[in-house]
A = this chain, B = another copy of it.
Amino acid sequence: MKQKMLVRFLPHNREIEVNKGDNLLQAAMRAGVYIQASCGGEGVCGKCRVLVEKGEGESLPTPKISEEEFRKGWRQACKTQILSDLEVRVPVESALDKRFINRARERVNAGRKVTYQELESLVLGWCFHPALQKYYLEIDPPTNGDNRSDLSRMLMALKKTHHFDLVSVDSQILKKLPFVLREADWRVTVTLAQTRVESQLGEHQLRGSRRPKLISVEPGKTTHEHYSIVIDVGTTSLWGQLLDLNQRKTLAEASDYNSQIQYGDDVISRIAYAQRPGGLVKLQECIVGTINGIIRELQAKSGMDLDRVSHMAAAGNTVMTHLLVGLDPKYIREAPYTPVANFIPPVRARELGIKVGEHVHLYTFPSVAAYVGGDIVSGVLGSGIYQRKPLTLYIDVGTNGEIVVGNADWLVTAACSAGPAFEGGGIKHGMRATLGAIEDFRIHPVTYEPMLITIGMVKPRGICGSGLINMVAEFLEAGLISPNGKFNAERSTPRIRSGPDGREYVLAYGQDTATGADLVITEVDIENLIRAKAAMYAGYVTLLQSVGLTVSNLEQVVIAGAFGSFIDVERAITIGLLPELPLDRFLFIGNGSLLGARLISFCNEMLDDGERIARMMTNVELSENSSFMDNYVAAMFLPHTHAEEFPGVTRRLAESQAHHSSQGAQR
């Protein structure tokens, strides 16, 4: 456990508990204390000056703070690490500011965010038991009296040392076998893949009813190096993790844009491209190329030996899964929208062009329907909602928004095309949630100056999906935009100006950005976000209606999605993306797609659960559902056309509006 510190901000008189070593600017953001900050936390704008009145922070003198100021306690918040309990005074430059201080929304720990290890405990009844196991063998060399085949003697050693009988063998190992055995002086490590059992039995019968398959032989003792690579194959981005199959650990993470993007932003345009001559092959090569890049990055980050990867699992939507394994998704686009297959047998990764050992098979999560893919099945598995009683809404916020409603007894699912806005796609300065993306954002309610923090606290480079949600929510609460998403003509600030794409707000001027150019958010960006959130909201409302339920029946909301963990629930409710429910009903699981893939890497038996989930889910087609269109149109408003669905937000916005008017009048 990290040591806890208490920081008190003055004149707000607001306290927040932090970990020793936390950044002071981030602590202020979390505490709901506005400090102007334009450079993302890099320290170059010099605007986040604060006075440390009590306690100790580690901070170096900077050009923006004179030596004398430093001696007096002035610091740049973004450059200060908290080393003891602190009292920090934030300079308040106008009377107006002061009056807003105590109105500043108190941030709560909105939505439970859990670590991967905690996440894995969401699922009941599994143990750490990878489908692939490595065993070290010391084999007796052949003699005149005992000249059994190389394979026989290896299998005998496996039986003798590790008690495996009836092992089948991948014929690919045979070509090198005699040479590996002799060069390694008959000391080798073998990898066994255990086939699944159809039904769950006690450990003893389990062993008996399986037939392990020997898939790899490596010289020497390599049991300590035993890895799995799991990949979330998204339409816009791919995310990969390198897992240690000995220690149930994540060794590295990496991600990249899906290089298919050059052939279209969404699955529909990818399917269209696949119909061109050579298009399918091209798209398959793209996705494999991206995966190979991610694998290289995982390798670089971890220093692992690629030959020690034993297993791969991927989860993606139905179209991405088709394209990955080279199936033509043609009929997914045409009514009645049929995939080639929902359950795809494991394929040798190298046959697809993935650069791993030839023994590595790629398991792809089964899909449910044309637009409900293995990513969602993986997430439902990983979140354990298929095992529990509470009525749960599971949403994967992404380009293809996928929604599940149900519990241990039943599961219904649907998909809606939200577009790429949540992943930074179609946004003028949109980017993935990587170094330099603005992820946290506040706006001064009077001056409309921004407080922005980037990932990595470097100069801002662009806006990621969660940052975009935060901005639009802040704009709305500040009255800077109207419920229709347009900049409010009544509010003026030099930061709002006309740009080539219409009106825009300048998040950071060139001197404070990584690119040297102004970083803006446009009305078109905001409209794209509204379309995306409306599709998601209409999707789950329609799905609930299809089973005779409403949002108020939900006992739990599980939020998945590559950027899910960064969503601020309150702000997502503010813009009408998430339903207005008590905050403790929200649970973030992060990348759900990776979650199930991790789980099956760590536990062989969970494969069956995954396939059971895929079979159990009932798909509801939204694309031809007239209620969906009605719900969508109604949701094209901030937070929603029907104010009664967001009573709390509506009330707060009204109060803010009234307050602002009165402030404006006083001004």
Contact = CB atoms under 8 A, between A and B. Distances in A.
A334 to B, nearest CB: 10
A150 B336 contact: no
Contacts of A198: 166
A562 to B, nearest CB: 26
Nearest to A624: B144
Contacts of A171: 325, 344-347
Contact of A340 (B143, B146, B178, B335): B178
A174 B327 contact: yes
Contacts of A335: 144
Among A147, A151, A179: residue with most chain B CB under 10 A: A147
Contact of A150 (B174, B179, B331): B331
Nearest to A343: B151
A340 B150 contact: yes
Interface in A322-341: 325-328, 330-331, 335-341
Contact of A327 (B175, B369, B370, B624): B175
A350 to B, nearest CB: 13
Given A171-B347, A328-B178, A345-B169, A340 B151 contact: yes
A397 to B, nearest CB: 25
Nearest to A280: B175
A303 interface: no
A262 interface: no
Nearest to A150: B340
A499 to B, nearest CB: 44
Contacts of A514: none
A342 interface: yes
A416 B328 CA distance: 55
A354 to B, nearest CB: 15
A174 B352 CA distance: 14
A151 B178 CA distance: 41
A552 interface: no
Nearest to A348: B171
A94 interface: no
Contacts of A182: 331
A164 to B, nearest CB: 15
Contacts of A344: 171, 174
Contacts of A347: 171
Contact of A152 (B142, B166, B341, B624): B341
Contacts of A151: 340-343
A151 to B, nearest CB: 4
A369 B325 contact: no
Where chain A touches its partner, the secondary structure class is loop
A275 interface: no
A142 B144 CA distance: 65
A345 B171 CA distance: 6
In the complex, the count of this chain's copies comes to 2
Sorting the interface of chain A by its residue count into under 10, 10 to 19, 20 to 34 or 35 or more gives 35 or more
A203 interface: no
Given A171-B347, A174-B327, A175-B327, A342 B152 contact: yes
Interface in A288-344: 325-328, 330-331, 335-344
Given A169-B345, A345-B169, A337 B147 contact: yes
Interface string A140-167: 0011111111111000000000000010
Contacts of A170: 345
Nearest to A364: B171
Contacts of A178: 328, 330-331, 338, 340
Contacts of A343: 151, 169
Contacts of A152: 341-342
Interface string A475-497: 00000000000000000000000
Contact of A149 (B143, B177, B339): B339
Given A171-B325, A327-B175, A338 B148 contact: yes
A178 to B, nearest CB: 5
A553 interface: no
A168 interface: yes
Nearest to A336: B147
A286 B331 CA distance: 43
A611 to B, nearest CB: 12
Contact of A341 (B168, B177, B337, B338): B177
Among A146, A178, A182, A339: residue with most chain B CB under 10 A: A178
Contacts of A175: 326-328
Nearest to A145: B336
A362 B182 CA distance: 29
A174 B327 CA distance: 7
A179 B169 CA distance: 34
A338 B142 contact: yes
Contact of A177 (B168, B340, B370, B621): B340
Contacts of A179: 328
A22 B195 CA distance: 60
A150 B338 contact: yes
A345 B149 CA distance: 14
A220 B168 CA distance: 36
28 contacts: A145-B336, A146-B336, A147-B337, A147-B370, A149-B341, A149-B342, A150-B331, A150-B340, A151-B340, A151-B342, A151-B343, A152-B342, A168-B345, A169-B341, A169-B343, A169-B345, A171-B325, A171-B346, A171-B347, A174-B327, A174-B340, A174-B341, A175-B328, A177-B340, A178-B328, A178-B331, A178-B338, A178-B340
Given A149-B342, A174-B344, 15 more contacts: A142-B336, A145-B336, A147-B337, A147-B370, A149-B341, A150-B341, A151-B343, A152-B341, A152-B342, A169-B343, A175-B326, A178-B328, A178-B330, A178-B340, A179-B328
Interface of A: 142-152, 166, 168-171, 174-175, 177-179, 182, 198, 325-328, 330-331, 335-347, 367, 369-370, 621, 624
Interface pairs A-B: 4 shortest CB-CB: A151-B341, A147-B336, A149-B339, A171-B345
